Amino acid sequence: ADWVESPNCIQISASECDLTQSLNSQHNCWLVLSPGNISAVNFTVKPLDDRRVIVNITDPLTSIYYRKKQLSIRDILKKDLNYKIRYYKSGSTGKRDEISDSSIKVIPGLDEGQSYCFMVAAFIRSRPKATQQGSWSLQQCTEGSQDQDLSVGAWVGVGFIMLTVLIVIVTATVLCCRQRNKTLQTSQSSAPV
């Protein structure tokens, strides 16, 4: 009952037949793609301004050809294909997810001057939960301003070191002044009147 006839492969003399022309419907391609996981996608992140970036995702290619063109998963799954974009502020543990129905997504509301890291995975809502999401891509991070790259802990450490240096300088100055005053008093008391 699951067999589909391929007009190109009926009554042929060869022992092999190219079925890619028959795999052009979403239903048949769905059967090919559904059992396995979708591999990690490639993407780029570019700043639009101080508070927005644009994530540009390259749709992965499949092993299916139609009319001598290699099809991407977008060609096959059409609107069923989404991408999950996970991002977080560098040095933070709080992660946010955005779902995009296209290969280009603008991420707004970023903190000015901060570095953010991004990962992307294909996401197909109509699949069973266990196979909805493809593999995560490699992480890519934006560059924040140098002043704000230090975490709060690093700033506290810098402040502590500066305070310690200041205390050492003040203590050394007070001790030197006391020693000098003591030496002056001793020399004045021993001088003849």
**Better pLDDT: 188 or 75:** 75
Cβ neighbours of residue 124 closer than 8 Å, sequence gap 6 or more: 38, 77, 80, 81, 82, 131, 132, 133
Q: How many folded domains does the chain comprise?
A: 2
Asked if residue 178 and residue 129 are part of one domain, the reply reads: no
**Better pLDDT: 11 or 54:** 54
Asked if residue 110 and residue 30 are part of one domain, the reply reads: yes
Q: How many CB atoms lie within 10 A of CB 56?
A: 13
Q: How many CB atoms lie within 10 A of CB 58?
A: 14
> In which domain, by residue range, is 56 found?
7-144
pLDDT of residue 106: 96
pLDDT of residue 156: 83
Residue 115 CA to residue 103 CA, distance in Å, equals: 22
Residue 51 lies in a domain: yes
pLDDT of residue 92: 83
Residue 28 lies in a domain: yes
Q: How far is CA 44 from each of CA 54, 59, 68, 154, rounded to the nearest angstrom? A: 8, 12, 28, 30
Residue 51 CA to residue 81 CA, distance in Å, equals: 27
Asked if residue 182 and residue 155 are part of one domain, the reply reads: yes
Residue 1 lies in a domain: no
Cβ neighbours of residue 179 closer than 8 Å, sequence gap 6 or more: none
pLDDT of residue 157: 83
**Better pLDDT: 33 or 108:** 108
Instruction: Report the residue count for the chain.
Output: 193
Residue 97 and residue 82 in contact, taking contact as beta carbons nearer than 8 Å: no
Asked if residue 99 and residue 179 are part of one domain, the reply reads: no
pLDDT for residue 33 is more than 80: no
Give the residue from 107, 114, 101, 124 showing the smallest Cα distance to 44.
107
Confidence of residue 8 (pLDDT cuts 50, 70, 90): low
Confidence of residue 43 (pLDDT cuts 50, 70, 90): very high
